[in-house]
Structure 1
Amino acid sequence: MGGTRREVPNDPGRKERILDAALDIVAESGIHKTTHRRIAARAGVPLGSLTYYFEGLDDLLVQAFARLADTMSVHYRHTLERAATRAEAEAAVVELVCGPEYGTSREMTLIFELYGYANHHPAVMAIARAWLHRSRESLKLHFPAHVCLALDVLIEGWPIHRVIEGAPLDRALVAETVHAIVTGLDPRD
């Protein structure tokens, strides 16, 4: 005889679909227009499913933002892990700033929403803070801590400016800036 009904899910992946649907709704409409009903409809699940997995909308949003931070941190880490030399590591940083895969339009919208929500929500602020630390740990694969701090601020800030300006970044300028930071703060090469 198997476990109880609660121990054996009849719809594996449902919780993840709900979290992804929540992020979709937040990206499309903002947190202020995100509701249980809209999330359930997007996820294709009964409304009651949300109360099965989450204590309320607040809990759902916290877990959704944690999922976003985890997903983006993994991509960030993999981008830096592929670099074998310091020059490749600099190019990886440029890719994080300018490339199409990290900081997509959807992700940037979600980051803006996360930061705004974190400003008034300690649990989400903790997620944002942990994400910063994970990013810096990934940068430490190639650079000393003080360089990691400067590069991480650049990686966070420049895409924000790109969104606000509504214009692509000058990849050559970004590369020159990354190189200047790295060699100016750690001139070992």
Structure 2
Amino acid sequence: MTAQQTPAGSRLGRRNDPDRRDRIIDACLDVIARAGVAGTSHRKVAAEAGVPLGAMTYYFDGIDELLREAFTRFAVTVSDRFERRMADAKDAEAARAAVIAIILEDVFGDDRELILSHELYTLAAREAAFRSITSAWMLRSRTALERHFDPETARLLDALIEGLTIHRALDAEARDPHEVERAVTRITTV
């Protein structure tokens, strides 16, 4: 059978695994969450995804492309959740409540997301090629906020969301959830 006669969905007569690329990307995020970007390698990701090591170079030109794909998936997932919260808000009061919920419940919803976010921030701070991911993420957040708030307020809220979430996640002492409500109210009340 020639390459032209090979059935769709197969390569060299073998069935391709249509979910393999996605599994590799998801596995990459799991490895980053566990070992950090510095501890992530093709070998570790392949083992986590349950694929042959050679599959890594078939799907990705190198570790940077894999990291970009993985962090892009992560940022889009978080942004989608953020946008849904803001889209569901029907008025200014509901929008304020949505921002509070984003800070208290959504952003860095678990340790894995906290670690992935900080790994992405650090990588973007070191390597300009990854800043497009964080820039797109921030733009989507501000655009979602601008459904309910003017651009300056949206920018301030975006920074507040990041900052308060980091403080709440990393502070050794429990934080008062009402401080989030007070901060959001101060920024959004004209």
C-alpha distance in 1, partners of 2:59/2:131?
22
Counting only pairs closer than 5 Å after superposition, residues 1-189 of structure 1 correspond to structure 2 as 2-3=7-8, 5=10, 10-99=16-105, 101-104=106-109, 105-183=111-189, 187=190
C-alpha distance in 1, partners of 2:19/2:8?
18
Percent of residue pairs identical: 41
C-alpha distance in 2, partners of 1:173/1:123?
36
AA aligned opposite 1:85: D
Cα offset for 1:5? Answer: 3.8
Pair member with larger Rg: 2
AA aligned opposite 2:108: G
Cα offset for 1:162? Answer: 1.8
C-alpha distance in 1, partners of 2:83/2:39?
32
TM-score norm. by structure 1 comes to: 0.90
When residues 4 and 78 of structure 1 are mapped into structure 2, their CA distance, relative to the original with a 3 A threshold, is closer
Corresponding residue SS for 1:119: helix
Aligned length: 182
Structure 1 contact 18–40 (Cα < 8 Å) conserved: yes
RMSD of the TM alignment (CA)?
Answer: 1.7
Structure 2 contact 9–15 (Cα < 8 Å) conserved: no
AA aligned opposite 1:118: A
TM-score norm. by structure 2 comes to: 0.90
When residues 82 and 166 of structure 1 are mapped into structure 2, their CA distance, relative to the original with a 3 A threshold, is farther
Structure 2 contact 9–16 (Cα < 8 Å) conserved: no
Structure 2 contact 156–187 (Cα < 8 Å) conserved: yes
Cα offset for 1:163? Answer: 2.3
